[in-house]
Copies of this chain bind each other. A is one copy, B any other.
Amino acid sequence: MLVIMKNDATEEQVQAVIREIENMGYRGIPMPGAQRTAVCIIGNQGPVDDSRLVVMEGVKETVRVTKPYKLVSRETHPQPTVISVSDIKIGGGKTVVMAGPCAVESEEQALTIAHLVKKYGAQVFRGGAFKPRTSPYSFQGLGEEGLKILDRVRRETGLLIVTEATDHINIELVEQYADIIQIGARNMQNYSLLRRAGHATKPILLKRSFAATIEELLMSAEYITSEGNNQVILCERGIRTFSDNTRNTLDLSAIPSIKEVSHLPIIVDPSHAAGRREYVIPLSKGAIAVGADGLLVEVHHDPSHALSDGMQSLYPKQFEKLMREIESLRR
């Protein structure tokens, strides 16, 4: 860590900073520059807590040389994490495809779509039972009834199930029924939920908030792993920008960025990023080409009657085309 002094900091202030660093058990080395002095901290074996330093007289700011996350860092764990769920492996070069409707609406709807996506090659079925919705007046999901339908989907089709938990109460239920527990973008910094997920016995699919930096996403993953659950799959789903041609701007550069600093697998959700089905196939191909470990895609057999997000759901034929094109890309 580097402590940058203000340009009018006095020699006494610099010395006080050095003494405080020594009190913390490290060494402080002054580094006088043309316009101001900086003090380098050396001798630390892990992250330095700068709260005592940033508030001292004469200090302008501190600059971290190392990252605040640890367990999810590639420096701690150089090999990529591969998560095994039943006979599926996520991470490490395979491409997993999770597909299904935004929300579970009925047993008939779920089974119809599940059979379709299974036929075209999906390995995991997605579908929400607890739906976080911007408006209190929108459909909020079937709750436990929806989870039971998902259970039947697994038994009938053999597909694994990923579904969302939205608070640290309903995660109990979700944990019983799902193979992978999803934490949605709006809950990426819901720390009660993250901590509870850290005690879950199932892998967690953690979606990047549309307002989170890569570092914040990894800090949220660190919340989960620091409680003991190191089975975390990250998911890029678009960030909020000024650009208005899509609902959010899919940040595909997040894939190589995350792979550089973390060992966790990362998949891409092109449906929520785009907000329109027309862009889902090209963005899916882009995601795979850039190195993503898989896709989370919305598919509906009858999008015009979907209770949520119909505009971004692929038609079954489009999903078939997507799977074919992904397959030829992967070869």
Q: Which residues of A contact B (CB under 8 A)?
A: 1-2, 4, 7, 29, 31-36, 38, 40-42, 44-47, 51-52, 54-57, 63, 65-66, 68, 75, 132-137, 166-170, 186-187, 189-193, 195, 209-211, 213-214, 216, 219, 222-223, 226-227, 239-246, 249-257, 260, 273-274, 278-279, 282-283, 285-291, 303-308, 310-311, 329
- State A282–B252 Cα separation when bound (angstroms): 9
CB-CB under 8 A from A47, the residues of chain B are 34, 137
Which of A29, A35, A278: most chain B CB closer than 10 A? A35
Residue of B nearest to A186 (CB): B189
Chain copies in the assembly?
4
* Cβ distance A204 to chain B, nearest Cβ, rounded Å: 14
Most buried by B among A42, A243, A291: A243
Contact of A256 with B242 in the complex, beta carbons under 8 Å: no
Given A33-B66, A54-B310, 5 further pairs, Cβ under 8 A? A36-B65, A52-B305, A135-B219, A166-B191, A239-B243
Partner of A190, one of B36, B55, B186: B186
Contact B278 A135 (CB under 8 A): no
Q: Is A63 a contact of B63 with CB atoms below 8 Å?
A: yes
A36 to B23, CA, bound (A): 22
Of chain B, the residue at the smallest CB distance from A131 is B191
A55 & B191 in contact (Cβ 8 Å cutoff): no
Residues of the B chain whose Cβ atoms lie less than 8 Å from the Cβ of A239: 241-243, 249
In the complex with contacts A44-B34, A191-B132, A253-B250 CB distance below 8 A: yes
Q: Which residues of B contact A213 (CB under 8 A)?
A: 242-245
15 contacts between A and B (CB under 8 A): A2-B65, A4-B65, A33-B42, A33-B66, A34-B46, A34-B47, A38-B65, A55-B306, A136-B222, A167-B167, A169-B192, A214-B243, A243-B254, A256-B279, A283-B290
